[in-house]
Amino acid sequence: MQPKGSWKPSLNLATVLTSIRLLLTEPNPSDPLMAEIANEYQFNKERFEESAKKWTKEYANQNSTS
């Protein structure tokens, strides 16, 4: 059975983490997952950054209770 999508067994954890880091530091708004967010990133950077801070504060700073 062949893996689906672009994942290949030859990709190791270091490669995956490097890819994630690059996407976070250099996003590509020309090929977005969420077009609305990409538009905000391209055309209203201030609002994008405010929204990103809000979401980060709300979800990344939560203490895990599980």
Give me the helices (H) in 1-66, please.
Answer: 13-25, 35-43, 45-59
Q: Is the pLDDT of residue 17 over 70?
A: yes
pTM score of the predicted model: 0.59
Cα 36 to Cα 40: distance, rounded to the nearest angstrom: 6
One-letter amino acid identity for 43?
F
What confidence score (pLDDT) does residue 7 get? 66
Give SS3 for 61. coil
Site of tokens 């954890």:
13
Taking only the tens place, the pLDDT of each residue in 31-42 is 888 999 999 999
